[in-house]
């Protein structure tokens, strides 16, 4: 599918991978809709894309709200009359924590944005795609959907649900013109990515990941894990699952310890009395 001229909604487009993807798609000639909650950031970024010669509009959308998603999709359909692609990218990794130290609200928040958010947006755009007889739903997953990592149980479970949902829906929509694609970014230097101090995996730039997403769309891939080391990890998990689990345990628990130390440092800094300027 060539992005040129296509109406493409990117959720979570106010920063990180979503913003980089919106920019990359606009460079390819797509009519991009940048969706997220921070309207000021979306407007600024859409203006910047337009100044560079692209087509972009900002739309306020909270993927955890039926009313917000319904209103946003209605306004997009009113403006463009069609939706060719939706990239369900909105999300966040949350803080790395041992599951025992989190509560049910934390797990539900992960599922709310990643799983139910993705499902809500897909439900809202699908009738238009089916009526057109064409469309692509891109669901952003993560390597940890297949190779889970300790200290991120809720996130891994949510992303695994995204993959299973996508694979299942793909079968239902086959032959009706609507494709479902799973795209898994590698560890990427974004607000969410930088919250996870992982040692080991290479950290990629959002712009590189965005180019991989564009290529995934262009080649009509069913599923793509960006980053060779992620694909190797998946192969390792298939041939030596205990070794893969050991590697992920090591990476996850080390990162959780680092993350907890960072938090303690921030707490200590907040408790420290302000320095008096005696000069």
Applying CB under 6 A, which of residues 7, 24, 33, 90 lies at the interface with ligand NAP?
A: 90
**Residue 190 in contact with ligand NAP, rule: CB under 6 A:** yes
Query: Do 229 and 201 touch, CB atoms closer than 8 A?
Result: yes
Quick one: 203 or 243, whose CB is closer to ligand NAP?
203
Applying CB under 6 A, which of residues 136, 139, 181, 188 lies at the interface with ligand NAP?
A: 188
Quick one: 62 or 84, whose CB is closer to ligand NAP?
62
**Residue 92 in contact with ligand NAP, rule: CB under 6 A:** yes
Order of strands across the sheet that contains 7-11:
55-60, 31-36, 7-11, 85-88, 135-140, 178-184, 223-225
Interface characters, 37-56, with ligand NAP (x: CB under 6 A): xx------------------
Among residues 117, 114, 87, 107, the alpha carbon closest in space to that of 18 is found at 87
Question: Least distance to ligand NAP from the beta carbon of 144, Å?
Answer: 8
**Residue 64 in contact with ligand NAP, rule: CB under 6 A:** yes
Name the residues that contact ligand NAP, by CB under 6 A.
Answer: 11-18, 36-38, 61-64, 89-93, 113, 117, 140, 142, 185, 187-188, 190-193
């Amino acid at each position: 599918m060539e992005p040129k001229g296509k109406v493409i909604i990117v959720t979570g487009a106010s920063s990180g991978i979503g913003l980089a993807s919106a920019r990359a798609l606009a460079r390819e000639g797509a009519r991009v809709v940048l969706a997220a909650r921070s309207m000021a950031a979306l407007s600024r970024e859409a203006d910047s894309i337009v100044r560079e010669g692209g087509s972009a509009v900002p739309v306020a959308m909270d993927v955890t709200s039926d009313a917000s998603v319904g209103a946003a999709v209605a306004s997009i359909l009113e403006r463009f009359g069609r939706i060719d692609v939706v990239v369900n990218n909105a999300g966040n990794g949350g803080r790395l924590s041992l599951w025992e130290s989190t509560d049910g609200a934390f797990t539900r928040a992960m599922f709310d944005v990643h799983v139910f958010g993705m499902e809500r947006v897909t439900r809202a755009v699908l009738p238009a795609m089916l009526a057109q007889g064409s469309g692509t739903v891109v669901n952003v997953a993560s390597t940890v959907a297949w190779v889970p990592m300790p200290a991120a149980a809720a996130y891994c479970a949510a992303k695994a649900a995204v993959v299973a949902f996508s694979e299942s829906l793909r079968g239902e929509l086959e032959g009706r013109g609507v494709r479902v694609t799973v795209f898994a970014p590698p560890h990427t230097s974004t607000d969410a990515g930088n919250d996870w101090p992982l040692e080991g995996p290479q950290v990629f730039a959002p712009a590189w990941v965005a180019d991989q997403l564009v290529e995934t769309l262009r080649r009509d891939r069913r599923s793509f894990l960006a980053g060779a080391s992620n694909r190797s990890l998946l192969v390792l998990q298939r041939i030596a699952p205990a070794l893969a689990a050991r590697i992920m345990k090591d990476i996850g628990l080390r990162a959780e310890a680092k993350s907890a130390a960072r938090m303690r440092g921030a707490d200590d800094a907040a408790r420290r009395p302000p320095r008096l300027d005696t000069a």
